[in-house]
């Protein structure tokens, strides 16, 4: 989910207008993916680096996230979409965390599609975290080094673990 600010600049709008338009794009992508039978969709919505943006832009993004979750929760239920989130969720403002947790709990019974939101995520941090878990498993004798494969297990998926299938 990159390029909203650039889109707005090309249209001579402020960056926040671009983010608002981005919410519409998210809604459309989720709808089309659901119609196509996509079972798991991960949207990389807000990286750790995004915290370095101007404070008013970060605040607007957090407000948009909160509003999106509040407005879309019932729609997710109707469309049988389960919400999940990965990343350093503890970095989110407390109100947004509460709304996110409420929406996750509300949609937990849904089994038609999983919508993962990557929030306050970092690819580098996830790699380090996965390596730490693997090394810990090796030290405890749960796995031998030669058993480590390119296919990550759910125990190495990263903060919050990332649902990859509907059980």
Catalytic residue IDs: 2, 50
- Phi and psi at residue 83, in whole multiples of 5°? -90, 140
Q: Tell me how far apart the alpha carbons of residues 80 and 167 are, in angstroms, rounded to a whole number.
A: 14
**Other CB atoms within 10 Å distance of the CB of residue 10:** 10
Q: Would you state the torsion angle of the CA atoms of residues 150, 81, 125, 63, taken in this order, to the nearest 10 degrees?
A: 160
Beta-bridge mates of residue 115: 41, 83
83: part of which helix (H) or strand (E)? strand 81-86
């Amino acid at each position: 989910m990159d390029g909203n600010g650039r889109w707005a600049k090309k249209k001579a709008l402020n960056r926040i207008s671009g983010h608002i338009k981005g919410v519409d794009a998210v809604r459309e992508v989720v709808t089309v993916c659901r119609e196509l039978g996509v079972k798991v969709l991960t949207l990389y919505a807000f990286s750790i680096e995004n915290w370095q943006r101007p404070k008013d832009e970060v605040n607007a993004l957090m407000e948009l996230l909160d509003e999106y979750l509040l407005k879309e929760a019932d729609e997710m239920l109707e469309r049988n979409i389960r919400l999940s989130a990965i990343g350093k969720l503890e970095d989110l403002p407390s109100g947004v965390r509460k709304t996110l947790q409420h929406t996750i709990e509300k949609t937990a019974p849904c089994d038609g599609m999983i919508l993962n939101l990557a929030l306050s995520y970092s690819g580098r941090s996830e790699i380090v975290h996965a390596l730490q878990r693997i090394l810990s498993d090796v030290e405890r004798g749960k796995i031998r080094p030669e058993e480590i494969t390119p296919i990550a297990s759910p125990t190495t998926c990263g903060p919050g673990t990332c649902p990859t299938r509907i059980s």
